[in-house]
A = this chain, B = another copy of it.
Amino acid sequence: MRFTSEQRLDDGVLEREFTLDEFPGILWTPGSMSAPAPLVLLGHPGGLHKMYPRLAARARACAAQGFAAATIELPGSGERPRSAVAEQARADLRRALEAGEPVDEIVDRLVLPLVEKVVPEWRITMDALLSLPEIGGPIGYAGGVIAIGIRLAVVEPRIAAAVMFAGSFVPRIMFEEARQVAIPLLVLLQWDDEGNDRQSALDLFDAFGSKEKTLHANMGGHTGVPRFEGDDGNRFFARHLK
């Protein structure tokens, strides 16, 4: 892990960009810490640059609770090399959605390879971040691309709790994997998400094996998650990461 830039934000939060092997990321740590901070991994749909304002806002809210936060670029997004297969799947998905055609096979082609590639990258990132003296366990995952969250929650014992946004396509085969998830979950659902089938999201929530799981459904479309859900997510992490 190599830090490539560092700046102190106006609220005292330290923001550092880093690179790890072939991908970049950002780490935010609270302005003052008396002990190593629990870490929240911020998932997103790809494109660090475009997502930066929202990610930074989420990271500052984490820091205000005493958590460190980190994110990495997704394979095939931002400055990272494009995958022809993924680009083709993305185009196929757009076309199928516009035509009202079934998308299951395309979602498998798009999401499964992404999960296979990014989850090991998240784990390398966790290794690197936990080697820093200012970062301690446990770790929470908060983010979109819920399939990534499912796999991480299943394979990575250092993930103690997760906030997942049920707003992206999940390969049907991963519904079975969701049954193996056992950590506390807060699942967010936008009730009128134009790109996400409500019943499918409810089925996924039902499938999660966790004994403690909570669904928060709010009105509005994909990008309309109310601001207060950020606070709720941080309180959820405060219960499970402290």
- A contact residues vs B (CB 8 Å cutoff): 191, 202, 205-206, 210-219, 226, 228, 231-232, 235, 239
Contact = CB atoms under 8 A, between A and B. Distances in A.
18 contacts: A191-B206, A191-B215, A202-B202, A210-B219, A212-B219, A213-B218, A214-B216, A214-B217, A214-B218, A214-B219, A214-B226, A215-B215, A215-B217, A215-B218, A216-B216, A217-B217, A228-B239, A231-B235
Interface residue SS majority, chain A? mixed
Copies of the chain in the assembly: 2
Most buried by B among A206, A211, A215: A215
For the complex of A and B, list the 10 residue pairs with the smallest distance between their C-beta atoms, beginning with the closest. A215-B217, A214-B218, A213-B219, A216-B216, A214-B216, A211-B219, A212-B219, A214-B217, A215-B215, A228-B239
A226 B216 CA distance: 14
Given A191-B215, A214-B216, 10 more contacts: A202-B202, A213-B219, A214-B218, A214-B226, A215-B215, A215-B216, A215-B217, A228-B239, A231-B235, A232-B232
Nearest to A189: B215
B217 A205 contact: yes
Nearest to A205: B217
Nearest to A202: B202
Contacts of A191: 206, 215
Contacts of A205: 217
Contacts of A202: 202
Contacts of A228: 235, 239
A196 to B, nearest CB: 15
Contacts of A212: 219, 226
Contacts of A213: 218-219
Contacts of A226: 212, 214
A17 B134 CA distance: 54
Q: Which of A206, A214, A218 has the most CB of B within 10 A?
A: A214
A213 B35 CA distance: 39
A228 B210 CA distance: 17
A117 to B, nearest CB: 32
